[in-house]
Amino acid sequence: MIALIQRVSQARVEVAGETVGAIPRGLLVLLGVERDDDEASLRRLADKVMKYRVFSDEADKMNLNVQQAGGQLLVVSQFTLAADTNKGLRPSFSSAAHPTEAERLYEAFVAYCRAQGMTVETGAFGADMQVSLTNDGPVTFSLRT
């Protein structure tokens, strides 16, 4: 499982011109699910996302996690993160999870974060989404299990 996280001062997702999810300050989480991912891997990654210290403290050092900074999560499914780009000029998606399983694990990731007390907004799984954000920093990290 892969999460590309971006510290944002705002982010939103639109589908067909309608906003389906939006947050003020927090993390935009682009989530890719791979074939061998399971509940244990989603919990490990979700915990890492929520605890990863990417927000500045009073000394301007990245010592605060999203919860400590009073931020929210916007979790958007992005199967292209699971692409194999090692050969040629066209990505292979053979390592991506089947859409049914990917959606189940995506929804479980969101539910787990909410159960930990996070405010979580989402995109629409499998939809053609338009994601807009203001990357604060810019700060972007790739996390995986």
Task: Write the burial class of residue 110 (CB in 10 Å: 0-12 exposed, 13-18 middle, 19+ buried).
Answer: buried
55, 79, 109, 122: which one is catalytic?
79
80, 85, 93, 134: which one is catalytic?
80
6, 55, 72, 78: which one is catalytic?
78
78 is catalytic: yes
For Cα atoms 72, 70, 141, give the angle at the middle one, nearest 5 degrees. 55
55 is catalytic: no
85 is catalytic: no
**Dist. CA 96–CA 22, nearest whole Å:** 26
With beta carbons less than 8 A apart as the criterion, state whether 56 and 64 touch.
yes
List the catalytic residues: 78-80
